Amino acid sequence: MVKVVVESDGCDVRFSKIAPFSLKDTLMCGQAFRWKSTSNDLCAYTGVVKGKVLKVRQEDDCLILEGPVDEDTVRMTLDYFALDVDLGEIENKLREIDPAVGTAIDFAPGIRLLRQDPWEAMVTFIISARNSMPLIRRSVELLAEKHGVPISERRQGDSCDVHFSFPSPKMLAEAAVEELLECRTGFKAPYIREAAERIAFGGFDLYGVGDLEYEEAKSKLMEFKGVGSKVADCILLFAFGFYQAFPIDVWVTRIMRYLYFDSKKVPLRVISEFAHEKFGDLAGYAQQYLFYYARNKLGPEIRGLE
DNA sequence: TGCCAGGCCTTCC
DNA sequence: GGAAGGCATGGC
């Protein structure tokens, strides 16, 4: 745990003592899909978190939340970005565990694992199956526009931007599968509908999953159609803060084989066991740095490894 | 046109 | 139990 310094100038709120921190990499690394860059020069983004429009930017090692905002929004922002987590210590421990992960961290340090809304994360990562990041982004945004609640954002002058909350389980349970298909969710549309129904009306306590042990929580999530091992780990890691989760997608498979298995074909189960053994409770952070490094640095060099 | 994208489900052996 | 095949969609 670290002591974050929170200051306000009467309007904007400044979070400091949070280094290492990269707002851009944190928001664009593929864990969240509703943030949009709002400036070509500044590192500034607008997003919708738990029904609220947040405008944030990075100045030096500080996170600035554009105000005026109430205390509840400040607390929510602190929690969403997990600013209480000592990321510097985590990065150092991972460097000690393996210099190869250190190389990945050096490429893009300061990636914070967010604490997103579990339902939004669940839908997002069901959609992510056999899909690309730009298309996932588009589907999630379409779901919000067509089924969420509009949130007006007053701006200077008369202009008014409209954003949309992410639709609740009840909202999506009441949508027709055809309407979900219109959001480009493809063959995942019925999965989303079924999950929404079960959570809205079927008595499944999604938020209670966070109180379970990791293995049991993962099993509960995998009861849903469209939620396999990888998607379950994404939900556990990016929403519930189970840092031992190690989602294995194509890129993680490639870099793990490249780094640890002599580029040979290995069952996913073996990679998973290896990662849990090697990284323990920091597996999730290791995964995110490795994923980002694999996609954005190694790229073509390891593309053939699957 | 064919291949791929933050996989999963079903079928078949 | 493990290995194939299919799946919507759009970019390259």
Checking each nucleotide's C1' against the CA of A131, the nearest proves to be B5
- Which domains occur in chain A, in start order? 5-84 (3.30.310.260), 118-238 (1.10.340.30), 250-302 (1.10.1670.10)
In this complex, the answer to whether residue A296 has its CB under 7 A from any atom of chain B, a nucleic strand, is: no
CA distances from A151 to A52, A68, A96, A148, A218 (A): 8, 16, 46, 9, 33
How far is residue A120's CA from residue A235's CA, in Å, rounded to a whole number?
A: 9
Report whether pLDDT(A155) > 70: no
pLDDT at position A303: 86
Range in A101-105, A156-160, A272-276 the model is least confident about: A156-160
In this complex, the answer to whether residue A131 has its CB under 7 A from any atom of chain C, a nucleic strand, is: yes
Q: Taking residues A235-256, what's their average pLDDT?
A: 97
In this complex, the answer to whether residue A132 has its CB under 7 A from any atom of chain C, a nucleic strand, is: yes
Q: Return all residues near A246 (Cβ < 8 A) that are at least 6 apart.
A: A233, A252, A272, A275, A276, A279, A283, A284, A286, A287
Report whether pLDDT(A215) > 70: yes
In this complex, the answer to whether residue A229 has its CB under 7 A from any atom of chain B, a nucleic strand, is: yes
Q: Which nucleotides of strand C are protein-proximal, with an atom < 7 A from a CB?
A: 2-3, 7-11
pLDDT at position A160: 75
In this complex, the answer to whether residue A265 has its CB under 7 A from any atom of chain C, a nucleic strand, is: no
What mean pLDDT is reported for chain A? Answer: 95
DSSP assignment letter at A282: G
Strands A44-49, A52-59: parallel, antiparallel or unpaired by DSSP? antiparallel
Report whether pLDDT(A193) > 90: yes
Which residues are registered as beta bridge partners of A5? Answer: A16
In this complex, the answer to whether residue A185 has its CB under 7 A from any atom of chain B, a nucleic strand, is: no
Contact A207, A235 (CB under 8 A): no
In this complex, the answer to whether residue A4 has its CB under 7 A from any atom of chain C, a nucleic strand, is: no
Residue A145 (CA) to nucleotide B5 (C1'), in angstroms, measures: 24
How far is residue A36's CA from residue A173's CA, in Å, rounded to a whole number?
A: 27
Residue A268 (CA) to nucleotide B12 (C1'), in angstroms, measures: 22
pLDDT at position A41: 78
pLDDT digits (tens, 9 = 90+) for A105-139: 999 999 999 999 999 999 999 999 999 999 999 99
Residue A95 (CA) to nucleotide B10 (C1'), in angstroms, measures: 42
Reading the block at residue A247, the tokens are 């989602």
Contact A111, A27 (CB under 8 A): no
In this complex, the answer to whether residue A139 has its CB under 7 A from any atom of chain B, a nucleic strand, is: no
Q: Radius of gyration over alpha carbons of chain A, in Å?
A: 19
- Could you give the percent of chain A with pLDDT greater than 70? 98
Reading the block at residue A253, the tokens are 């498979």
Report yes or no on whether pTM surpasses 0.95. yes
Report whether pLDDT(A208) > 80: yes
pLDDT digits (tens, 9 = 90+) for A42-62: 899 999 999 999 999 999 999
How far is residue A201's CA from residue A65's CA, in Å, rounded to a whole number?
A: 36
